[in-house]
Structure 1
Amino acid sequence: MKWLVRNHNFLFLFLGRLVTNIGDSIYYVAAMWLVYDLGGNAFYSGLAGFLTMLPMALQFLTGPFVDRWPIKKVLISTQLLQCFLIFLIPLTYYFDVLTVQLVLIIMPIVSFIEQFAYPAQTKALPIVLKKDDLVKGNSLFSFAYQGVDLVFNAISGILIVSFGAITLFLADSITFAVAILLFAVLKFPKQAIKKSNQKKTAKDVIKSYTRELKEGFSIVFHSLLATFLLGSVLCNFAIGAAQAVLPAYADYQGGAQWYGFYLAALSIGSLIGALISSLFGKLPLGKLTILAFAIGGILWIVSPFSSSTLFGVILFGLAWIPVGATNVLFAAVIQTIVPNNFLGRINSITRSMSVVAMPIGSLAGGYLASVFSPQFIFSITGSGILFVSVVWLLHPTLRKLPRVANMDAATFRLRFKEKEPNVVNEV
């Protein structure tokens, strides 16, 4: 890991990502439970999930901005805004004016800000790392994401019981302040600046933004990436439903501590998958995806019917190992085949298209869990993972995709119109 220590840019980017994920993990767990507790019904957690995930589906709108704005300024400003918004919750609680409606308003705003932060972090990786180090870099980023989730999800139920959700929000605001300091020391290499003798009017800016947004959609939907995303739609619908029903299902199993255990199992499985992704990277991506998602789907479906609640948690965690591994490989594929000046748009569009069904699934899951057994609803959500395996199995090109190292833009029939960059990615 000497290359990590020597590469100061990657080190501080990684540490910033780590601290950011700590804040997001605390925030999401505390917010979902707080809304369920204040509302007293699974419908409210479903509504909270819907409002939180909806901005993820709109991430394609942020892509052109991420491609044009200085990365460092995006990273710092997003953490500053999140710090302020999260602090409002303990502040309003102190003055006894906190309501479930206020939490439901703050949640989607914080989530929308995240849609600028994470693409900017992803866009920064190919700048600070060599091409051969991208899989390792993405694996460490996944470790930062899943490892933090593992720790804080595992103890989230205990923290909520011991200190209360409000205290967690206060600690959360501090983590975002620390992330600001870490991102502040980043230094990115200069890019060429496209100079113009005329100042752009608002109309010119809108036209430029619209053109770049259309260009991003055209690249994605005139390539194999469109089919690549097809299986993700129903899969993420099911995941959204599962996340919405999980507080009620955990309450059915015994309380907030089981909510933390299930979230921890998800993180452990994803983390293990991310850490062994380099081994999976030696296999053909098509066959790997078919087998991995089939196994994961089956384990998820049977997990709620285990005779032991703990064993059910373990099965659920095992289901996320292949998901965690393939997510790292998918990220490395995009970063390898897409030029950096298109990466913000392509990343945001593919992410938006893949998660577009999550908020709808969350709303549906929360409602269905308030009508039917949370155990039954939680089980059938596992079929979404199976759907990915079926789509890849039936599609001849996806089924035959080679190893990640053997892919290029031609593999996905991607066509780019190269143009001179017009932003500076340093301060």
Structure 2
Amino acid sequence: MTKKQSFTCLWVGQSLANCGDVFYIVGMMTIIYAATQSAFYMAAVPFLTMMMRFISGIFAPLILDKFGLKCSLTRSQTAKSLLLLLLAIAFSFHLFGPDFLLIFLLAAGISFLDGWALPARNAMVPLLITKEKLVQTNSFLSLLDQSINLSGWALGGTLVTLFGGTKIVWGTFFLFLLSTVFMLLIEADTVSSQKMRDRAGRLEVMKEGWRAIGQTPLLRLISWTDAIGTIASVVWMAAIVFVFVHHVLHVSDAWWGFINFSYFVGLILGGLVSVRCATLIQHHLRQAALIGLLAIGIATLLFGWNKLPAIALVLSFAVGFFEQLQTIAFSTLIQTCTKPQLLAKVYAAQGALYAVAYGLATLVFGYLTDKIGVISVFTLSGLLILATFVYALRTKKEWPMQADC
């Protein structure tokens, strides 16, 4: 099997897994709410998912080093399939346990396994794709991921309405099985990942990704910039946008959906433009990232200060569009400027950092929205992003102008 064919198996398998991840969470939340009528239990599902991915991100380097990229990915997906089978059986026979303990344990296990699947996939990409095609490939993968995120929740909700939560969980099990088959088809010889040195201690292995970030100016810049950007992006979560629609725009609930949709359309169109202009972006990665950061910060500030619904749609679209541009530029720089044997560990460390940053930020920004108002929260978010732009601009000499490390 050629590298191109292995890459096809990689993105098809991962896309099926991503669809399944959305569907089973929708099905599980629906079943739990129907049984308990408790919003707390339902909200506990995404919170648990985030926390387990954070924990998994810390221990992921041990798994990735021991088994290699392909084996880590296939074992993760196989184990997820088995856990989801148990989850489907539990729902079918109402084996919930006290306070849904069994259900939450199975969901926690699935989320934990996800913690090394995404770093493994991202680390495989530069091994299967030439450097000249990385921007185009990252644009395609980002576009694919965002399309699944955009349509998955709506489609999952529709399927739950038609067939019920339990059948959706069973359907996800078969999606996971099919995903596992595609992962197994990837030729191991095309993914030349290095395994752990026997003499390396476990703690040292777990620290390698963090050490690489700390010792590499470019990785340190990107990691801190993205961590702050992750914190700032919390203002776009559904609850805060909902408050903004009611308290600032003074329009109906429908505009909440319009603004979210406009943001995701910006993400998707940004991916399409990046695919089309891949060569241009490839040779101007630094400029693309800086333009993205500056535009996101300005658009977020203007969104918070704006009171016209139509303008809000334009600004939310702009945030999504330029966020995609900045993300693609950073992803390409990380992949081309990091040693192959460290790449998955760097992704794992970044994933853990972003997960805890987002989790804490949701609590802090929710509190601040009540205390200082939604306009002030959007202002704070915009200023945080502009601060990262200034930081990146001041340190621009420490990172390359294009993917040529």
Structures share a fold, TM > 0.5? yes
Say if 1:211 and 1:288 are closer, same or farther in 2 by CA, change over 3 A.
Answer: same
Using the TM superposition, give the Cα deviation of residue 407 of structure 1 relative to its aligned residue in structure 2, in angstroms. Answer: 4.9
- From 211, 235, 243, the counterpart of 2:229: 235
Deviations, residues 45-75 of structure 1 (Å, cap 9, x unaligned) = 5543332112333314212431442322222
CA distance in 1 between partners of 2:283 and 2:318 (Å): 21
Aligned to 2:207: 214
Pairing 1:11-90 to 2, within 5 Å after superposition:
11-31=8-28, 40=37, 43-44=40-41, 46-58=43-55, 59-90=57-88
Which whole-Å CA distance do the structure 2 matches of 1:226 and 1:19 have between them?
32
- 2:330 & 2:160 partners in 1: Cα distance? 35
Q: Which runs of 5+ in 1 are unaligned?
A: 409-427
- 1:12–1:183 CA contact under 8 A, matched in 2: yes
> Do the aligned partners of 2:289 and 2:329 also contact (CA within 8 Å) in 1?
no
CA offsets per residue over residues 128-182 of structure 1, 9 Å max, x none?
1112122222222212211222332343443343334333322222211110111
Q: Which moved more, 1:94-103 or 1:74-83?
A: 94-103
- Shift of residue 266, structure 1, vs aligned partner: 4.8
Q: What is aligned with 1:421?
A: none
CA distance in 2, matches of 1:166, 1:114: 22
Q: Which residue of 2 aligns with 1:337?
A: 337
- Shift of the 382–75 alpha-carbon distance from structure 1 to 2, 3 Å rule, reads farther
How large is the RMSD of aligned CA atoms in angstroms? 4.1
Partner Cα separation in structure 2 for residue 195 and residue 55 of structure 1: 24
Partner of 1:271: 268
State the distance in 2 between where 1:168 and 1:85 align. Answer: 15
CA distance in 2, matches of 1:323, 1:313: 15
User: For the residues of structure 2 that align with 1:290 and 1:47, how far apart are their CA atoms?
Assistant: 32
Aligned twin of 1:350: 350
CA offset digits 1:301-360 (Å, max 9, x no partner)? 468x6658xx86775454222112211221111110111111111221123223321122
CA contact (8 A) 1:293 1:388 kept: yes
Displacement, 1:262? 6.8
How many Å apart are 1:24 and its aligned residue? 2.1
Deviations along 1:242-297, one digit per CA (max 9) or x if unpaired, are: 547379879x9999x99987765554332222232335555414531332321442
Unaligned runs of 5+ in 2: none
Distance 1:194 1:87 in 2: 31
Greater relative contact order (CA < 8 Å, ≥ 6 in sequence): 1
Specify whether residues 345 and 166 from structure 1 end up closer, same or farther in structure 2 by C-alpha distance, changes over 3 A only: same
SS at match of 2:180: helix
Structure with higher helix content: 2
Distance 1:34 1:299 in 2: 40
Cα 1:346/1:241, change in 2 over 3 Å: same
- Normalising by structure 2, report the TM-score: 0.78
> Equivalent pairs: percent with the same residue?
20
TM-score for both structures, normalised by structure 1: 0.75
Distance 2:196 2:392 in 1: 46
Equivalent position of 1:107 in the other structure: 107
User: Following the alignment from structure 1 to structure 2, what is the Cα–Cα distance between the partners of residues 195 and 315?
Assistant: 47
Matches within 5 A, 1:45-194: 46-58=43-55, 59-98=57-96, 101-189=101-189, 191=192
**Residues in 2 aligned to 1:90 and 1:212: alpha-carbon distance in whole angstroms:** 36
Determine which of 390, 393, 404 is the counterpart of 1:393: 390
